[in-house]
Amino acid sequence: MTDVEQGWSHGRDRQLWRLLARTVPGGRMPLRGRKAVASITFDDVPESATTVGAAILDRHDVRATYYIAAALCGRRDRYWQLATRERIRDLSDAGHEIGCHTARHVNVQSLDRHDLLRECDLSSAMIAEICGRVPRNFCYPFGDVGLIQKRLLAERFETCRTIYERPNLGRVDPAMLCAYGLFDSVLDRDRLSRLVRRTVARRGWLILYTHDVAAEPTPMGVTPGFLDAALTVLADHGVPLLTVAEAARHHGLVAAD
């Protein structure tokens, strides 16, 4: 494989491709669900997301989508200890969705067509080995994507999630789903309540994403108290919490199984 990048792209050419990915019309589809839904997703999947986070979800009897870089399971990176393959298998067995975050957590803009498809093949094979099923949904590492990569991944996965902050309302591009960071550092209960009310009014799909779950999380993580509060806010507004796969079916972006 060619050299890859593990970080955000700053070059002007990459910025242009990123803009094109956001603005050039893709296969936009209407959200057809009769009511609003929400999804909570965990990126990279630190071990705390599979222990502390999963325990909180279990108390609320809800399930999430965990996007893993399958080749890195069990490793320690600069921020946290990543969940082991055994932890990921337990999540899948408990009904959580396991999604693709590339095999090695690489910026997809650094990959040509051949290497991007190889990266997805490797990740899908690893996730199938761990969970017994191939991933149906994808999340862009670092939130970074260009138009070419978006089109390739749209052919491979049912949905692809970004980190662009916007509720998914009306017509959406399944390959550019938007999400809000569920981080104590940037979000509070009042703002979350406003986002939920806006989503309910338009019968949309609110996606939240985070990483670690800890009493003192990284700036990209959430405390147990705020994760619990977020689930309570959704329940108080009557918004079901679904996995990404379930929400995509609810809104008619993919055919029902």
What phi, psi does 93 have (nearest 5°)? Answer: -65, -30
Domain-embedded: residue 190: yes
Domain count, the chain: 1
Segments of the chain with pLDDT less than 70: 1-21, 25, 257
SS3 81: strand
| pLDDT tens figures, 29-41 | 999 999 999 999 9
Range of the domain at 66: 30-250
Q: What single-letter DSSP state applies at residue 251?
A: T
CATH of the domain at 74: 3.20.20.370
252 Ramachandran zone, left/alpha/beta (phi>0; psi -120 to 50) = left
Domain-embedded: residue 16: no
215: nearest Cα among 25, 52, 40, 46 = 52
Domain-embedded: residue 111: yes
- Please tell me the distance from the alpha carbon of residue 95 to that of residue 53, in angstroms, as a whole number: 14
- Please tell me the distance from the alpha carbon of residue 177 to that of residue 217, in angstroms, as a whole number: 25
- Please tell me the distance from the alpha carbon of residue 229 to that of residue 188, in angstroms, as a whole number: 10
| pLDDT tens figures, 182-216 | 999 999 999 999 999 999 999 999 999 999 999 99
Q: Provide the sign of the torsion angle of the four alpha carbons 136, 69, 88, 60, taken in this order.
A: negative
Domain-embedded: residue 22: no
